[in-house]
Structure 1
Amino acid sequence: MESVERMPSGSRRDAAAEWLLSRINYERTNVVPYGERQLKLDRMRQFVTALGSPDTAAPIVHIAGTKGKGSTAAMVAAMLTASGCRTGVFSSPHLERLEERFAIDGIAATGEQLADLVETVRPVVDEFDRRAAESGEDGLTFFDISTAMALVYFAQQKCAAVVLEVGLGGRLDSTNVCLPAVSVITSISFDHTKQLGNTLASIAGEKAGIIKSGVPVVSGVIPDEPRDVIVQVAREHGARLIERGRDFDYIYHPSKKGDKFDYVVAGEVKLADVAIALTGEHQAANGAVALAVIDELIRQGWQIPESARREGLATMRLAGRIELVAGEPLVVLDTAHNAASAAALATTLAARCEVPRTLVIACSRDKDFKAIATALVPHFERILITEYQSNPRVVPRDELAAAFRAVASPTPSASIELIATPIEAWRRAIEVTPASGLIAIAGSFFLTAELRPVVLGQRAQLPST
């Protein structure tokens, strides 16, 4: 491929993205391996070192968890930014553009910056590829390279803090090369069971793999089975553990005018009536975890005033997390893709929206779509099952429909239709949903990514209050 550096601006970005996306990308495969043979953390450490050790350029908050890690990462970053701290966030997957994965103070990298980053890392990648070929191994993966690019970008841009969101699991994740100021585990529930294990304890063990010797850990995990694992791993590493339910908690105050919560520390309200931009009790729980992280940073000497904490949580934005889009009918975009996040969506809608509801859904092959169906079916009058077009991991719509019909069959109140494409499903949803009703788009990041630009092209996003 011609050097990215010599290409015109638009094609530079596109060539950079094409090269990056051509790498081994487990986000786009039906089988997602999870083992030391495929995910070589030692090689990742060598790769980052060869790039100048950008992981040491700024203190890092490292966040794992089954659900809530993206929201918590965004909340922590927003509070740091509001305090005047230049903050980089590496997140995954992206919704619309690769650049979203590399954000500073809430602003994604530009296409030019993406191209520059590829130009920076590519010679080192080529050398690692050469060594891998000589030993008959696969080269660095898409996620390896993306992680390293993020660290390089944040170092180049002189970020004073970095928030790294784990991609999958924790123990073997590419982000686990860092030595953070704080480690975070937001929650443990069932997801990626083929990779992480089919018990909460085994999943917790993989997530707890991010715990480092002497590094404090903030945990939002409540169930005893995974909590006990985290307690044990933290003890083995001499890592001080700050736990929700013991050291901190929240009291949720739902409102159609905007959710709030009280942040509770050691049984006493520390911050009352904290406004939160994201909707639902699960986001209040994430907000409490984020505030506990900030408390730990303050204990380490960071200056993060209460006004910045409140401003960050009240004004942050995160696409696709029960994202309300104005119009008739109202539209909710949500990336809920496992049983726990689907249940959170259903609970939030049930508490706030007593109107006729239509669900547009597609799911990925590696998800427990039967559990997702169980969580969602009782809350919708119409269910439109489709297949996203951008990724081969999609569940065929007839297979997904069978799971939804099996749940609906005892009380067949939900009408289920199969629609070939997301665009057609969106048009059908508009046709069948009354103006006073609601359309929810959920089940996968990939579905939300395909429909969000279409929906926002026709509607105006509701301001958070």
Structure 2
Amino acid sequence: MDYRAAERAILERGVEWEFEPTLDRIAALLDLLGSPQRAYPVVHIAGTNGKTSTARLVEALLRERNLRVGRFTSPHLVAMRERISVDGEPLSEERFAEVFEELEPFVELTDKDGRRIQFFELLTAMAFAAFADTPVDVAVIETGMGGSWDATNVADGDIAIITPISLDHTDRLGPDVASIAGEKAGIIKPGCTAVLAQQPVEAAEVLMRRAADVGATVAREGLEFGVLSREVAIGGQLLTLRGLKGVYEDVFLPLYGAHQAGNAACALAAVEALTGGDDPLDIELVRQAFAQSSSPGRLEIVRRDPTVVVDAAHNPGGMQATLEGLHEAFDFAKVIGVVAVMRDKDVAALLELLEPMLEQIVVTANSSPRSLPAAELGALAEGYFGEDRVHVVERLDDAIDRGIGIADAEGEFSGTGVLITGSVVTAGDARHLLKADGG
């Protein structure tokens, strides 16, 4: 079987945003596989925003310690195999297909038992199996959605990181921040260390209660660890971080925004907790790891003249952080937005946040069947931007050309940039179209 056939077979099992709240199927499948998720320590990450960036930063620190690391993240930007990485590289097409073939008989057995394995469950099982087979020294696992009922929660994380929680997936996770926090708190297991990013009060209360109930050790950003200082630098920012075991000065992070500094602090605390002992990590190791880190599709420059920045923000909390980071790190006099969003998101809130930042907005659609049609997005956008500032373009490639064209028309020295945002899929499509993925 080749990679495309494996990908098609996985896609036939549904879509990741539709799932039943049960761990029975994934647990049954992993039992047949010999519980590969128990073959290595796990750093488990949940939260509304920042999960993938934090996962990549944890991975960078662990790899700099000469550990073999498996990383499972979602969704992917371009190719499904990006979700499962070993040693910082996605599984090859050949290896991805091989892992699928190895699991296929066990999946069929589980299906026959009346528990048809779903899309995200299958990818999760493939990741756990691939990591056990490698074998990895540590697995860094990002939840897909929520926590308690997420397929990844069959693993018991030695470290549970909860990144900032805000409103998203309210139809699935609950109508308010406290409800969502309750769902995500499910990854905090007895005896683990819970590394908590700065949270709204109502989320923090829920997370602390869960940690107390299960006897977890708690490390809170802003109390036990955090960002002591940061300043904008060329290509990123320069940080002083207080970890759980020491202070780390002059740490260059090639990522933009206060939110990425917070992600780095959480990653540092998680790795300190995982390594045990009282000694801080080697400062040069920390500097080297973070200096080499990346987070594709997160305030990522994909073109110059004019500067085009791609970002995967898709909910109000993420968009607020993105816009603050854009304002801080890029001295644009004007910003032209190219925006495509999913129909099930809080589109009105996203447009409201974007309006003060964007000179003009080009609304379009991405490649997902969940994408809000350009005409519908345009009608909503006119209520915030006015008709004169809104351009409706059906296809994303044409929309990107229109956005760049508007920026070019402003003149070379106008300081006009282009921001492409609204969804992970939008970011992935744009990276592919602009060849930022190496394609």
Of 224, 231, 236, the residue aligned with 1:253 is: 231
Q: Who is 1:7 aligned against?
A: none
What is the CA distance between 1:303 and its match in structure 2?
9.4
Deviations 1:390-432 (A, max 9, x none): 22111122322233222235xx8x7111101001101111211
Q: Who is 2:22 aligned against?
A: 40
Q: Does 1:330 align with 2:307?
A: yes
Alignment of 1:273-352 (within 5 A): 273-299=250-276, 305-351=282-328, 352=330
Q: Who is 2:64 aligned against?
A: 82
| AA matched with 2:12 | S
Q: Who is 1:18 aligned against?
A: 8
Q: Who is 2:433 aligned against?
A: 454
SS in structure 1 of the partner of residue 254 of structure 2: coil
Tell me the distance in 1 between the aligned counterparts of 2:151 and 2:429: 27
Select between 316-325 and 67-76 the one with higher mean Cα deviation: 316-325
Q: Who is 2:113 aligned against?
A: 131
Tell me the distance in 2 between the aligned counterparts of 1:260 and 1:229: 33
Select between 343-352 and 417-426 the one with higher mean Cα deviation: 343-352
Tell me the distance in 1 between the aligned counterparts of 2:53 and 2:277: 23
TM-score, normalization by structure 1: 0.89
Q: Does 1:403 align with 2:383?
A: no
| AA matched with 1:325 | V
Task: Tell me the C-alpha RMSD between the 2 structures.
Answer: 2.1
Q: Who is 1:356 aligned against?
A: 334
- Is the 1:261–1:274 contact (alpha carbons within 8 Å) kept by the matching residues of 2? yes
| AA matched with 2:423 | S
Tell me the distance in 2 between the aligned counterparts of 1:403 and 1:220: 34
Q: Does 1:379 align with 2:361?
A: no
Q: Who is 1:440 aligned against?
A: 419
Identity %: 34
Alignment of 1:49-448 (within 5 A): 49-132=31-114, 139-250=116-227, 251-265=229-243, 270-299=247-276, 305-351=282-328, 352-388=330-366, 390-409=367-386, 415-434=389-408, 435=412, 436-448=415-427
Tell me the distance in 2 between the aligned counterparts of 1:445 and 1:223: 24
Tell me the distance in 2 between the aligned counterparts of 1:309 and 1:65: 24
Tell me the distance in 2 between the aligned counterparts of 1:302 and 1:193: 42
- Is the 2:157–2:188 contact (alpha carbons within 8 Å) kept by the matching residues of 1? no
Unaligned stretches of 5+ residues in structure 2: none
Q: How many residues get paired?
A: 432
Tell me the distance in 1 between the aligned counterparts of 2:68 and 2:158: 16
**Distance of aligned partners of 1:394 and 1:87 in 2 relative to their CA distance in 1, 3 Å threshold:** same
- Is the 2:302–2:431 contact (alpha carbons within 8 Å) kept by the matching residues of 1? no
Select between 253-262 and 94-103 the one with higher mean Cα deviation: 253-262
| AA matched with 1:378 | P
Tell me the distance in 2 between the aligned counterparts of 1:237 and 1:84: 32
Q: Who is 1:8 aligned against?
A: none
Select between 40-49 and 361-370 the one with higher mean Cα deviation: 40-49
Tell me the distance in 2 between the aligned counterparts of 1:460 and 1:196: 36
| AA matched with 1:375 | L
SS in structure 2 of the partner of residue 179 of structure 1: coil
**Distance of aligned partners of 1:301 and 1:96 in 2 relative to their CA distance in 1, 3 Å threshold:** farther
What is the CA distance between 1:257 and its match in structure 2?
4.4
TM-score, normalization by structure 2: 0.94
Tell me the distance in 2 between the aligned counterparts of 1:176 and 1:417: 43
| AA matched with 2:16 | Y
Deviations 1:257-307 (A, max 9, x none): 4312211258x9711121112111110011111111012112269995332
Unaligned stretches of 5+ residues in structure 1: 5-11, 133-137
What is the CA distance between 1:446 and its match in structure 2?
1.2
| AA matched with 1:126 | E
SS in structure 1 of the partner of residue 160 of structure 2: strand
Moved over 4 A (4+): 300-304
**Distance of aligned partners of 1:300 and 1:178 in 2 relative to their CA distance in 1, 3 Å threshold:** farther
| AA matched with 1:22 | E
Tell me the distance in 1 between the aligned counterparts of 2:38 and 2:277: 17
